[in-house]
Amino acid sequence: MKQIPDKSFWQLWNLSFGFFGVQIAYALQSANISRIFSTLGADPHNLSYFWILPPLAGIIVQPIIGVLSDRTWTRFGRRIPYLFIGALIAVAVMCLLPNAGSFGMTVGAAMVFGLISLMFLDTSINMAMQPFKMMVGDMVNEKQKGLAYSIQSFLCNAGSLVGYLFPFIFAYLGIKNTAAKGVIPDSVIYSFYIGALILILCVIYTSMKVKEYPPAEYAEYHGIKEEDKKEKTNIFKLLAKAPKAFWTVGLVQFFCWAAFMFMWTYTNGSIALNVFDAPTVETVVKGVQRVIIDTQSNQYQDAANWVGILFAVQAIGSVLWAVMIPLFKNRKLIYALSLVLGGIGFISIFFIHDKYILFLSFLLIGCAWAAMLALPFTILTNALTGGHMGTYLGLFNGTICIPQIVAAALGGSILALFTKPGFVSPEVNMLVLAGVLLIIGAACVGVIKEKA
């Protein structure tokens, strides 16, 4: 099998640069979806259900993109057409989603519009994101994959940093941070607009700079024989032949991504109550008297902006830790250590009531995030050969989506167990649970079987 040649740092950089723009979009979604639906009037116990659609769309779309791109070749390449189409759809939806409360619709209609927009946004982001991971698997040799995925992790976190800070920056510049009941503040709307512009510019840059290997050259680099091309196979056969790394890393992924789903869903409410002392109001939901956070209050909206700052701190921690990860020769050791540090970060939030001390918590959470972005794909792609790289990476996305779906489906019921009648829901307890899940994930790293 012909060896893929080494690439320069800037070739590896260009290969993943578009990920910067994609991650801005993903960060805006992650940090603001709970805020958007809470502002539209969602009950905290139902908040996690709004998060089911994104991973559900991902688990369907990603394998399809993997299978189709494995079989595609155009003058623009095999993966790039899919990331470009995904980016265009994401740009359109990013301009619509934050306006869910601005079209004069009823609360119910605005919720449905927001849900449909969210589904299309996450599907298109997934469609744009997955090809970047596939191109590293396609075009980078095993020796450089650790560096390539670390660069991708760096760009991912740099994009997250920008996306998380946008609402805070716009509010600081004087753009309105509050709005009428059921309407999303302008600081959030403008953030999505600017994020959409940066996304399409970054994807255009990568599309112009990267030239994918043509089919014959790709086959030489990946040991694909003529009979392999004629082989009739399907997803189920490929799963049956998946390397052990696919399943063992997937086990760790389950606990990690469930933990981060709880973070995205419940951090806004946790920080608003624990740190900003947001006021509460009584309301009746389906005949049941409940105490909920007043999402129209300045304290809640200020807390929501501060969550963007905390997520940005997490991204900074991820960037710094991503630089450290390649220095460790023992991948499993640094993987487990990173998850333990993240678990400690989540649990510490319960005890902290100062907004600045929370920076330490989210720096630790960033360590886990950096490892989750880089190490699973390095371990898996090193264990893969042949012409089904895209399909396997698409299927591997199930280890990201399934735990999110499970966490979103169970989140409301678990939160209800923590909630006393007549009291506001203690959403911070869900972050403690997230920390426990990360520590369990760290313990499972020991079962991973790496390619010798």
Q: pLDDT tens across 277-327, in order?
A: 888 888 766 666 778 788 778 888 889 889 989 998 998 898 889 888 888
| 176 domain residue, yes or no | yes
Point out the least confidently predicted range of 333-337, 349-353, 390-394: 390-394
| 291 domain residue, yes or no | yes
Nearest in space to 396 (alpha carbons), one of 135, 63, 167, 124 = 63
> Percentage of the chain surpassing pLDDT 90?
27
Judged against a pLDDT cut of 70, whether residue 197 lies above it is answered with yes
| 167 domain residue, yes or no | yes
Could you give the CA distance from residue 115 to residue 350 in angstroms, rounded to a whole number? 30
Total-model pTM:
0.75
| 192 domain residue, yes or no | yes
What would the pLDDT profile of 168-183 be if each residue is shown by its tens digit?
A: 899 889 898 877 777 8
For residues 256 and 31, is the Cβ–Cβ distance under 8 A?
no
The one-letter amino acid at 234 = N
Burial of 43 (0-12, 13-18, 19+ CB in 10 A): middle
Could you give the CA distance from residue 7 to residue 157 in angstroms, rounded to a whole number? 22
Q: Can you give the pLDDT at residue 313?
A: 93
Q: Can you give the pLDDT at residue 1?
A: 65
Judged against a pLDDT cut of 80, whether residue 232 lies above it is answered with no
Q: Can you give the pLDDT at residue 270?
A: 92
Q: Can you give the pLDDT at residue 141?
A: 86
Q: Can you give the pLDDT at residue 385?
A: 66
| 2 domain residue, yes or no | no
Q: Can you give the pLDDT at residue 389?
A: 66
> In terms of pLDDT, which residue wins out, 186 or 150?
186
| 1 domain residue, yes or no | no
HSE-up of residue 387 (Cα within 13 Å, Cβ side): 25
pLDDT band, residue 256 (cuts 50/70/90): very high
Structure tokens at 80: 């790039």
Judged against a pLDDT cut of 80, whether residue 42 lies above it is answered with no
Question: Domain limits at 352?
Answer: 9-447
Could you give the CA distance from residue 147 to residue 87 in angstroms, rounded to a whole number? 25
pLDDT band, residue 344 (cuts 50/70/90): very high
> In terms of pLDDT, which residue wins out, 326 or 266?
266
User: Buried b vs exposed e over 168-193: b needs ≥16 C-beta within 10 Å?
Assistant: bbbbeeebebbbeebbbbbbbbbbbe
Judged against a pLDDT cut of 60, whether residue 452 lies above it is answered with no
> In terms of pLDDT, which residue wins out, 302 or 336?
336
Could you give the CA distance from residue 321 to residue 153 in angstroms, rounded to a whole number? 10
Judged against a pLDDT cut of 70, whether residue 233 lies above it is answered with no
CA dihedral angle for residue 191, residue 197, residue 199, residue 201, rounded to 10 degrees = -150
Judged against a pLDDT cut of 60, whether residue 204 lies above it is answered with yes
User: Which of 13-17, 171-175, 438-442 is most confident?
Assistant: 438-442
> Percentage of the chain surpassing pLDDT 70?
94
pLDDT band, residue 45 (cuts 50/70/90): low
Please tell me the total count of domains within the chain: 1
Judged against a pLDDT cut of 90, whether residue 26 lies above it is answered with no
Could you give the CA distance from residue 59 to residue 403 in angstroms, rounded to a whole number? 11
What would the pLDDT profile of 77-91 be if each residue is shown by its tens digit?
A: 888 888 889 899 999
Could you give the CA distance from residue 452 to residue 449 in angstroms, rounded to a whole number? 9
Q: What are phi and psi of 32, to 5 degrees?
A: -120, -10
Judged against a pLDDT cut of 80, whether residue 241 lies above it is answered with no
Query: Which domain CATH number covers 259?
Result: 1.20.1250.20
**310 contacts: CB under 8 Å, gap ≥ 6:** 267, 271, 358, 359, 361, 362
Q: Can you give the pLDDT at residue 271?
A: 93
| 452 domain residue, yes or no | no
| 287 domain residue, yes or no | yes
